[in-house]
């Protein structure tokens, strides 16, 4: 198998990256469709059968399959063609949807999360089909276009079509390597409950001099609610919230402690912070991978224009989320959060948490032939022992594949910690793109050696 960078692959990736398929902004619906069609056409050209868009409420899913390996296992290959908004635009060195190669990296929104990595799956399958006319395993592709907004469409589809999606394991390239050159499998993700905290005071904005001291202020209330829900040391103060939290096993803790990790380097180079925060008594990787969070993402309300306006706003809204870990349950956590918001709501205002989307946490047992084969394939291609990590991020489908299809997800990620996913100047390290293609094709060959 060639390990020479293939320029056609790079050109194809650039075409994919030029489509601004931002799922959270409705004005990008036509781009969402174009991205779905691009993926469908690529899958068709790669030699898969039945390549088609699956329409439904929400953004189209893309499906394709190749099932001519009787007696061999079947893999369900997943990725997402939607991306996060690129703002703040002025911080991009080159425009987010005009992919630019600088050094060994390609810069664009979606380069790493997840167009580049979805393309790795497509090009690996295409390469094997072109070279040999067949595949060592059966494959089904299911690519979605609303992962970044909670993945409602795929959730309904997976629940309704377990037979069509039947497979031995799912393969997902949408995570990160722990360090450059270090082959990594991700075996745990956090879940999420995302929503809006809506706080209402009086019926209209008021003069803050005339009424200040008497009228309730929803923005102040948001601050007070957030401080009551999480203390200055990062402890979440929601009754019962940690009851189901499973601590990592001693073996897992040991393995994490042996990972090549310099906390100071992480703080200064990767995060860029003066000081790290969070629960001080919990080791950093455990805080990131095995503890729930509560974060505020944005606050809307009052006067935010140029200059000064003395006003007490009538209403304010905060976007907040909590990340969940095994064995927290989404619905229970949501209820606990809603109840806690009501319980700590200051006098004179009403406060309500309204969920936008949610997804459960997931843990994959690495003691599984599909995972072991992946570790071997990664080790062969990268020339190093594969490490097992968890990630603090969420991929809603992983829990649903487990729940509805009863299959493990093999999370072979080729992103790097400095890829700046969701941030300005997102990039993908091109050597990882090409080695990712090799690693996935090696993996398919490896799985071809397992019995169905
Ligand atoms: N690919 C990421 C999740 C991820 C990032 C996993 C890094 C492991 C390492 C995914 O696209 C993502 O951003 N998910 C959202 C999910 C949400 C909006 C439901 C997230 O984690 O915020
Ligand atoms: Mn992703
Ligand atoms: Mn993402």
Could you write out the DSSP letters of every residue in 131-146?
HHSS-SSEEEEEEES-
How do residues 172-200 score in pLDDT, each as one tens digit?
999 999 999 999 999 999 999 999 999 99
CA–CA separation, 415 vs 112, rounded Å? 6
- For residue 184, the model assigns a pLDDT of 98
Mean pLDDT of 232-253: 97
Q: Where in the chain is the domain with CATH 3.40.630.10?
A: 4-189+361-447
CA 76 to ligand 2 center in whole angstroms: 17
Percent of the chain topping pLDDT 70: 99
* Whether pLDDT at 215 is above 60: yes
- For residue 392, the model assigns a pLDDT of 98
How do residues 111-166 score in pLDDT, each as one tens digit?
999 999 999 999 999 999 999 999 999 999 999 999 999 889 999 999 999 999 99
* Whether pLDDT at 452 is above 80: no
Alpha helix positions (H), 320-368? 330-344
- For residue 1, the model assigns a pLDDT of 46
Q: Which of 111, 114, 148, 420 to probe ligand 1 with, by most ligand atoms within 8 A of CB?
A: 148
How do residues 85-100 score in pLDDT, each as one tens digit?
999 999 999 999 999 9
Mean pLDDT of 398-421: 97
CA–CA separation, 52 vs 95, rounded Å? 31
- Phi, psi at residue 18, to the nearest 5°? -75, -15
- Phi, psi at residue 117, to the nearest 5°? -75, -30
Q: Which residues neighbour 55 within 8 Å (Cβ) at sequence distance 6 or greater?
A: none
Cβ atoms 44, 35 nearer than 8 A = no
Q: Which ligand is nearest to the CA of 118?
A: 2
- For residue 186, the model assigns a pLDDT of 98
What's the whole-model pTM score? 0.95
Name the CA radius of gyration of the chain, rounded: 23
Percent of the chain topping pLDDT 90: 97
Q: Where in the chain is the domain with CATH 3.30.70.360?
A: 191-245+292-359
* Whether pLDDT at 206 is above 80: yes
- For residue 4, the model assigns a pLDDT of 62
CA–CA separation, 206 vs 310, rounded Å? 9
Among the listed residues 67, 66, 73, 65, the one whose alpha carbon sits nearest the alpha carbon of residue 449: 73
Average pLDDT score over the chain = 97
The correct answer on CATH 3.40.630.10 for the domain covering 4-189+361-447 is yes
Among the listed residues 87, 64, 79, the one whose alpha carbon sits nearest the alpha carbon of residue 138: 64
Q: Which ligand is nearest to the CA of 192?
A: 1
Mean pLDDT of 271-282: 97
* Whether pLDDT at 426 is above 50: yes
CA 82 to ligand 3 center in whole angstroms: 9
Q: Which ligand is nearest to the CA of 115?
A: 2
Task: Show the ligand 1 pocket: residues with CB < 6 angstroms.
Answer: 113-114, 147-148, 150, 174-176, 192, 357, 359, 391, 393-396, 421
Nearest CA to ligand 1 atom 13: 148
Token pair in block for residue 26:
């409705």
* Whether pLDDT at 3 is above 70: no
* Whether pLDDT at 439 is above 50: yes
Q: Which residues are in the CB-under-5-Å shell of ion ligand 2?
A: 113-114, 174
- For residue 2, the model assigns a pLDDT of 46
DSSP run (H or E) holding 152: helix 152-160
CA–CA separation, 129 vs 135, rounded Å? 6
CA–CA separation, 366 vs 195, rounded Å? 32
Please list the residues that pair with 64 across neighbouring strands. Answer: 141
Residue 268: how many CB atoms within 10 A of its CB?
12
How do residues 311-329 score in pLDDT, each as one tens digit?
999 999 999 999 999 999 9
Q: Closest ligand 1 atom to the C-alpha of 391?
A: 8
Mean pLDDT of 300-319: 97
Region of 361 (left: φ > 0; alpha: ψ -120 to 50; beta: rest) is beta
Tell me, which fold does domain 191-245+292-359 have in CATH? Alpha-Beta Plaits (3.30.70)
- Phi, psi at residue 58, to the nearest 5°? 110, -170
Among the listed residues 404, 401, 420, the one whose alpha carbon sits nearest the alpha carbon of residue 363: 401
Cβ atoms 446, 75 nearer than 8 A = no
């Amino acid at each position: 198998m060639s390990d020479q960078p293939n320029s056609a692959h790079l050109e194809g990736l650039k075409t994919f990256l030029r489509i601004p398929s931002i799922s959270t902004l409705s004005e990008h619906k036509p781009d969402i469709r174009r991205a779905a069609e691009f993926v469908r056409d690529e899958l068709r050209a790669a030699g898969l059968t039945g390549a088609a868009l699956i329409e439904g409420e929400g953004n189209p899913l893309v499906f394709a399959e190749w099932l001519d390996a009787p007696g061999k296992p079947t893999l369900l290959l997943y990725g997402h063609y939607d991306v996060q908004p690129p703002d703040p635009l002025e911080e991009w060195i080159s425009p987010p949807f005009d992919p630019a190669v600088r050094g060994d990296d390609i810069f664009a929104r979606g380069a790493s999360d997840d167009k580049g990595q979805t393309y790795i799956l497509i090009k690996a399958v295409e390469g094997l089909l072109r070279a040999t006319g067949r595949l060592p395993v059966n494959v089904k592709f299911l690519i979605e276009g609303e992962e970044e907004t909670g993945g409602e469409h795929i959730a309904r589809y997976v629940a309704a079509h377990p037979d069509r999606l039947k497979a031995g394991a799912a393969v997902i390239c949408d995570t990160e390597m722990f360090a450059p050159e270090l082959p990594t499998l991700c075996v745990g993700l956090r879940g999420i409950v995302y929503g809006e905290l809506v706080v209402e005071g009086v019926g209209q904005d008021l003069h803050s001099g005339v009424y200040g001291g008497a009228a309730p202020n929803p923005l102040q209330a948001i601050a007070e609610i957030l401080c009551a829900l999480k203390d200055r040391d990062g402890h979440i103060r929601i009754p019962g919230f940690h009851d189901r939290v499973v601590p990592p096993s001693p073996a897992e803790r040991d393995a994490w402690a042996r990972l090549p990790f310099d906390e100071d380097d992480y703080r200064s180079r990767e995060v860029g912070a003066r000081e790290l925060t969070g629960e001080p008594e919990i080791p950093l990787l455990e805080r990131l991978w095995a503890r729930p969070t509560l974060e505020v993402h944005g606050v809307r309300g009052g006067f935010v224009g140029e200059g000064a306006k003395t006003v007490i706003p009538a209403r304010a809204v905060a976007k907040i989320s909590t990340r969940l870990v095994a064995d927290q349950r989404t619905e229970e956590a949501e209820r606990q959060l809603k109840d806690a918001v009501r319980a700590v709501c200051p006098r004179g205002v009403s406060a309500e948490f309204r969920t936008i989307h949610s997804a459960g946490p997931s843990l994959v047992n690495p003691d599984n032939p599909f995972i072991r084969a992946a570790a071997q394939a990664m080790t062969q291609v990268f020339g190093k022992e594969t490490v097992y990590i968890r990630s603090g991020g969420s991929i809603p489908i992983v829990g649903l594949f487990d729940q509805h299809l009863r299959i493990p997800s093999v999370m072979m990620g080729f992103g790097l910690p400095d890829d700046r996913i969701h941030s300005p100047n997102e990039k993908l390290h091109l050597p990882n793109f090409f080695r990712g293609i090799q690693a996935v094709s090696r993996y398919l060959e490896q799985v071809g050696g397992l019995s169905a």
